[in-house]
Amino acid sequence: MTKTLDFYFDFYSPYGYLAHYKIDDIAERYGYQAQWHAILLGPAFKAVGSKPLLDIPMMGAYSAHDFARTARLDGVPFVMPATFPGATLAAGRAFYWLQDQDPALAKRFAKAVFKAAFAEGQDLLQVANIKAIASAEGIDAQALEAAIQTEAVKERFKTAVQASLAKGVFGSPFVMVEGEHFWGNDRIPQVEQWLARGGW
Amino acid sequence: MTKTLDFYFDFYSPYGYLAHYKIDDIAERYGYQAQWHAILLGPAFKAVGSKPLLDIPMMGAYSAHDFARTARLDGVPFVMPATFPGATLAAGRAFYWLQDQDPALAKRFAKAVFKAAFAEGQDLLQVANIKAIASAEGIDAQALEAAIQTEAVKERFKTAVQASLAKGVFGSPFVMVEGEHFWGNDRIPQVEQWLARGGW
């Protein structure tokens, strides 16, 4: 049986975006499958008494520079989305609506959403953009729009966010493997070491 | 002429401790010399509206685990100091008092202070401990104790802390090289890449 690791991310997290390029490859290299979980950083910031990096004195300017510098080192495109930060509700709801039907499709959609935001600078808060991203992945955009307005799908995402907090997820990206927690794109190399060695 | 990089740290910073083992080797490998700067995280936390990691909900427990886990991966000892956090005034003042006389000795002293705190768990807030660490490095502990009580030496450290904030240092460890800022032990691999490639 394939072992699982859990990958938590906010669609508007620059470091989540950087990590999303790597996590599946690393997992598969060591016989794991990455289970993706969309979350919202807003409730996590509230839980730890923090706020979006760019809104923090000194750290904000540093972070903006660091996002782009790290992306260049990784060899991936990077721009800031048209609106930022924000609660990526439509994307998160759509992700779980898809995951409950077809997990592989949900993951492809999530990758497309990340690229729309941070490779193309799209505004994820516009439902029209989420629909267009979905359409390009062969998803019925009208059905998606209808679904994410239902209480059931709203509740699905809300429950997932609450469950992540209950498990100790306070940032993005955040990886859990065999009870071990790793926070941040910076910890992806440690995640890889952990999988390779079975801990240390 | 040897090129210089600047290495800022708080003596009570676990990630500063982890970085201190590596920074000189990395600098020297690429023809740089690391200039060490003791700072205090208290004023930096105030500037960015943060507080000691261990005092933050969720993040505190994670960080305590992460300090030790990262130290194990690096193959270095790690314990928490007897008192923590705290303003390492005596160690910082002693560091600059020594630096103004003998920069190489100041660096040896700083390394001994870090090891006393995080390899042995010593309480750096006790001046007696700072004196004992100094003595073991061949420093006149009575002269040190007298010096760190003078206004001139107190002011020297205070000015250094203020200067670090003015330059944008908001955490520990923090590295500056040719105007490029790198925050955190996590960024030491990027510092090395930067030195090796001359940027990217």
ipTM reported for the complex, 2 dp: 0.94
Residue A49 and residue B56 in contact, taking contact as beta carbons nearer than 8 Å: yes
Domain span at residue B51 reads: 3-197
Report the CATH number that the domain containing residue B30 is assigned in CATH. 3.40.30.10
Instruction: Quote the pLDDT of residue A175.
Output: 98
Q: Which of B58, B73, B170 sits opposite A170 (nearest CB)?
A: B58
Contact B48 A62 (CB under 8 A): no
**Once rounded to an integer, what is the mean pLDDT over residues B76-87?**
95
Residues of B serving a catalytic function are 13
CB atoms within 10 A of CB A61: 14
Positions in chain A whose pLDDT score sits under 50: none
Instruction: Quote the pLDDT of residue A52.
Output: 87
Q: Is B140 helix (H, G, I), strand (E, B) or coil?
A: coil
Residue B1 has pLDDT above 80, yes or no: no
Q: Please count the structural domains in chain B.
A: 1
A13 counts as catalytic:
yes
Residues of B with Cβ-Cβ distance to A54 under 8 angstroms: none
Residue B119 has pLDDT above 80, yes or no: yes
| Residue A157 burial (10 A CB sphere; 0-12, 13-18, 19+) | buried
Instruction: Quote the pLDDT of residue A51.
Output: 86
DSSP A140: -
Instruction: Quote the pLDDT of residue A2.
Output: 82
Instruction: Quote the pLDDT of residue A50.
Output: 86
**Could you give phi then psi for residue A93, rounded to 5 degrees?**
-65, -45
Residue A171 and residue A41 in contact, taking contact as beta carbons nearer than 8 Å: yes
Cα-based angle A72, A31, B188 (whole degrees, multiple of 5): 35
How far apart, in whole angstroms, are the C-alpha atoms of residue A6 and residue A37? 7
How far apart, in whole angstroms, are the C-alpha atoms of residue A60 and residue A68? 13
Q: Which of A57, A69, A72 sits opposite B47 (nearest CB)?
A: A57
Size of interface A-B (CB pairs under 8 A): 64
